[in-house]
Amino acid sequence: MQFKDAILWKEAINDEMSSLNQNHTWELVDVPSGVKPISCKWIFKKKLRSDGTIEKYKERLVANGFSQKEGIDFFDMYPPVAELLPSE
């Protein structure tokens, strides 16, 4: 990172990694032979206040799930939104 605000981005990345670890988002395992792991990338975004000043440096680690094949790499799909159940 060669940006003037690289230190702030690195802090944001460390916070995100800490959060992912605390929430037990994944489990590290050995990759079986013949299997190619899914790659991922960081998405960086600055959250701005209404006056245009920077409120927060925000980033996400996103898996490149488009490379997966249904029935081979995954079997179930879950929407990234909450499903509201009818009240009884």
Instruction: Write out the chain's pLDDT in tens, 88 residues.
Output: 566 788 888 888 898 889 888 888 888 888 888 877 888 888 888 889 999 888 888 888 887 766 666 666 666 666 666 656 777 6
Euclidean distance between CA atoms 65 and 38, whole angstroms: 7
Q: How far is CA 29 from CA 3, 8, 26, 35, 37, in A?
A: 34, 31, 9, 12, 11
Contacts of 59 (CB under 8 A, 6+ apart): 9, 12, 13, 16, 42, 43, 44, 45
Which amino acid type is present at position 23? N
The model's pTM: 0.56
- What pLDDT sits at residue 51? 93
Q: What percent of the chain has pLDDT over 70?
A: 72
Q: What is the mean pLDDT of the chain?
A: 79
